[in-house]
Amino acid sequence: MEKIIQDGKEVIRIEADSVKNLENKIDENFYKAVEAILNTKGRVIISGVGKSGIIARKIVATMNSTGTPALFMHPSDAIHGDLGMVRSDDVVILISKSGSTPEIVRIFPVLRRIGTKIIALVGDVKSFLAKEADIVLDVSVEEEACPYDLAPTSSTTATLVMGDALAIALLKAKNFTKEQFAFYHPGGTLGRRLTLKVEEIMTSGENVPVVKQDVDLHSAILEMTSKRLGATCVVDEEGKLVGIITDGDLRRAMEKYSNLSQLKAKDVMGKNPKSIKPDVLASYAIQLMETYKITQLICVDDENHPIGMIHLHDLVNLGFITT
């Protein structure tokens, strides 16, 4: 068992060292690569074979989700017609550990005739690609984690990290926002947090528990029980929010008063409850609830009339908060 554990740690150490060494390779060429992509009027097309192709697809996915349009082109498909997707105003990134992958070398002269800018991510800075590409990013590693130095391990990790460095540098250069990220991720939890508004998730209409401040406490409890939100809004004669009664308020009232039958809603309510407007992002509602450690948040209109309520359980069910 001990040997297996040590073997695992050794792989992580080797790959971590490879990534750490990349930092010294972020130089003027990296800047030129980012500038070339920023200034292109076309897209980024990334190509690689085998493990490099898998890494290329991951970099494409990262760029697309962070504001840089990108496509994957398989070199074998490229020589059978897919080169037709490439335009002169595109930027092509070619990935090859050896820098002389036959399929990559074969499409290179065609890319030159098209006139596209070519960036090479290579593990050999003396290779064909390193000599012929417009911009070269060195992703070479001292050793693979594979004990036979055969299976791409450290090299693919280093290439992936260099791709991430490009994508994030581009994100920052474009001032790409969380809201833009959410726009491209509407199905994810983050996307929902950053795009959904309070009005889309709140309990509304007749399902909102509301009582007037002068009703007896018994009626307030019935309203809380029937609406199943663990609280009720308390309003004045004009229907404006003046308080909230929660399960906690009831417990405190039982401790304070010996006879609850004489109490009115206004006697036990929490005054000036936290509220929110319907057109505010749900993420802000989460922030308020976490800051003030509350489980219900009342939604009000411009005249402070309660029109909805959000319960912590609603946010948990939507995956916004984990318990």
Q: How confident is the model at residue 189 (pLDDT cuts 50, 70, 90)?
A: low
pLDDT of residue 213: 96
Select the more confidently predicted residue: 195 or 228. Answer: 228
Q: Answer yes or no: do 153 and 9 share one domain.
A: yes
**Sheet holding 306-311: strands in order across?**
203-204, 306-311, 296-300, 275-276
Q: Which of 148, 176, 204 is at the close of a domain?
A: 176
Closest CA to 130 of 163, 166, 94: 94
Work out the percent of the chain whose per-residue pLDDT is above 70.
Answer: 95
Is the residue at 225 inside a domain? yes
Partners of 243 in beta bridges: 234, 271
Taking 70 as the threshold, does the pLDDT of residue 279 lie above it? Answer: yes
Select the more confidently predicted residue: 183 or 77. Answer: 77
Is the residue at 62 inside a domain? yes
pLDDT of residue 150: 80
Q: Answer yes or no: do 71 and 154 share one domain.
A: yes
**Sheet holding 117-122: strands in order across?**
70-72, 44-47, 91-96, 117-122, 135-138
Q: Averaged over 288-300, what is the pLDDT?
A: 92
Taking 80 as the threshold, does the pLDDT of residue 258 lie above it? Answer: yes
pLDDT of residue 315: 77
Could you read off the pLDDT of 14-68 as tens digits, one per residue?
Answer: 999 999 999 999 999 999 999 999 999 999 999 999 999 999 999 999 999 899 9
Q: Answer yes or no: do 137 and 214 share one domain.
A: no
Taking 70 as the threshold, does the pLDDT of residue 236 lie above it? Answer: yes
pLDDT of residue 118: 98
The whole model's pTM is what? Answer: 0.68
Q: Answer yes or no: do 140 and 29 share one domain.
A: yes
Q: Averaged over 239-250, what is the pLDDT?
A: 95
- Distance in angstroms (rounded) separating the CA atoms of residues 183 and 108: 36
Q: Answer yes or no: do 165 and 18 share one domain.
A: yes
CA atoms within 13 A on the CB side of 217: 19
pLDDT of residue 192: 66
Is the residue at 66 inside a domain? yes
Is the residue at 187 inside a domain? no
Number of domains in the chain: 2
CA distance to 12, 227, 248, per residue, from 4 (Å): 13, 57, 53
Q: How confident is the model at residue 267 (pLDDT cuts 50, 70, 90)?
A: very high
Per this entry, what is the length of the chain? 323
Q: Answer yes or no: do 24 and 161 share one domain.
A: yes
Q: Answer yes or no: do 163 and 207 share one domain.
A: no
- Domain extent for 90: 2-176
pLDDT of residue 186: 66
Q: How confident is the model at residue 193 (pLDDT cuts 50, 70, 90)?
A: low
Q: Answer yes or no: do 140 and 203 share one domain.
A: no
Q: Which of 145, 176, 207 is at the close of a domain?
A: 176
Q: Averaged over 130-151, what is the pLDDT?
A: 91
Round the average pLDDT of the chain to a whole number and report it.
92
pLDDT of residue 323: 54
Q: What's 298's domain CATH number?
A: 3.10.580.10
pLDDT of residue 187: 65
Taking 60 as the threshold, does the pLDDT of residue 88 lie above it? Answer: yes
pLDDT of residue 300: 96
